[in-house]
Amino acid sequence: MLFTADHDEPRRILQKFIAAEINPFVDEWEEAGQFPSHELFKKLGNLGFLGLNKPVEFGGQGLDYSYALMMAEELGAIHCGGVPMAIGVQTDMATPALARFGSDEVRREFLTPAIAGDAVACIGVSEPGAGSDVASIKTNARSDGDDYVINGGKMWITNGVKADWICLLANTSDGQVHRNKSLICVPMRTKGVEVARKLDKMGMRSSDTAQIFFDNVRVPKRNRIGEEGMGFTYQMVQFQEERLWGAAACLKAHEYIIAETIEYTRNRKAFGKTILDNQVVHFKLAEMQTEVELLRALIYRAAEALIAGEDVTRLATMAKLKAGRLGRELTDACLQFWGGMGFMNETHVSRAYRDSRLTSIGGGADEVMLTVLCKMMGTLPGAK
C-alpha cells in the first residue's frame, strides 16, 4: 500500500494550511499575477513540506517518495494551478538532482535554504528555440580557470522573477549533445543575470514566469551539480519526478471541478428539468470521474516503482501524457455544462480550463511523451 496511517497527519496539516493560508487569497493573487512566494514558502518550510523526501543532513525529512506524492496530490486542492506549480518547481523540479547528485558544499549552499523556505528556486532548461527539445539548448558555460562564464538565455521560467537561484542546464563543452551539458546552481543576483521580463500567460496567472538572460555570468565550478557533462542525464532523471508531480497535482483539481459542476448543473434548470438530469451530462461526469481514478492508479503504480528504485521513465511519461489529455477533455466538458457562466473568469471551471492546458506542454509536450514511449516500444521509425 502506497499510503499508510503515517501519512494521515502530514496530509491533515497540509489540508488545513491550504484552507487557511492559500485558498482565501487565490483570487487576489490571480488578479495580481503573482503571489508572495517568499512568505508562503517560508511557512511551508517551517512545516517541513519543502523537503519531505530530501536528506535530513540538509534540513529535509528523509522520508520516501510517497510523502512527496501525497503533497503533490493535496496541492491539487488549491483553487488555481499557478501556486501549486510554483511550489512543485521548488520541491520536485529544481531540487531533485541537487539533492541526489550535488556535493555536500553545493547542497549546503543551495538545497538547505530551499528546504527551509529561505530561498526560492527555479529551473532553467527551456529556451526560445529549445523547449521540449532539451538537447538543442544553446546557453553555454565556458571554462575559465576555477569558474564558468555563462552566456545565453532561458524562457518560460516559473518562479524566475522572484527566484534567489536557478538550477541551470548549460553546455559546458562542444561534445555530443547528450554528453556536453551540466547542471549549475547560479545565484540570481550574480552580475550579468538579467530578468528581462515577466511573461503574460493565458493561465497559471498567479505564478511569476520570466525570460532570463545571462551575459558573461561568472560562477565557481564548485556550483556544478555532480559531474561535468552529466547534466542531460541528471535532468532526464529529474524529469521523472517532475512529470509524476505534474500528473499527481491534477487529481484533486479534476475532482473539485467535477464536484462543482455536479452542484451547478443540479441547481440550474433548462427546458423544465435540471441540466444534470440530462443523460449526456451525468454520464459524461461519471466517465470523467472514472478517468481520474484510472490516472490515480497509474500514478500510484509509478510511485511504488520509483520507491523500489526502478526506472519509471515509461510509467511517468504515460502519467504525464494522460494527465494532460484528461485535463483538456475534462475541463472542456465541464465548462460546456456551465454554459455562459463557464465562459466567465469568475468561475473556477474557467480558470481550470486555462490552467490545465499547460500540462500538455510544460515538462515535455504530449508529442515528446509519445516519442519517448514509441522509442521504448520499438515502434519509432529510425530508432534503435
Q: Which residues are catalytic?
A: 242
CA-derived radius of gyration, the chain: 21
CA 289/CA 270 separation, integer angstroms: 24
Which residues are CB-neighbours of 221 under 8 A, at least 6 positions away? 143, 146, 147, 148
Amino acid at 103: S
CA dihedral 155, 241, 222, 186 (to 10 degrees): 30
Q: Are 64 and 239 in contact (CB under 8 A)?
A: no
Q: Are 148 and 116 in contact (CB under 8 A)?
A: no
- Mind giving me the DSSP string for 49-69? TT-TTS-GGGT-----HHHHH
The phi, psi pair for 269, rounded to 5°, reads: -110, 150
Residue 183 pairs in a beta bridge with 169, 225
138-157 core/surface letters (b: 16 or more CB in 10 A; e: else):
ebbbeeeeebbbbbbbbbbb
> Over 185-225, what HEC string results?
EEECCCCCEEEEEECCCCCCCCCCEEEEEEEEEEEEHHHEE
Q: Are 356 and 257 in contact (CB under 8 A)?
A: no
- Mind giving me the DSSP string for 134-175? GGG---EEEEETTEEEEEEEEEEEETTTT-SEEEEEEE-SSS
Cell of 4: 499508510
Q: Are 139 and 129 in contact (CB under 8 A)?
A: no
Using alpha carbons, list the distances in angstroms from residue 2 to 254, 304, 305, 306, 351.
21, 7, 10, 11, 31
Q: Which helix (H) or strand (E) holds 182?
A: strand 181-187
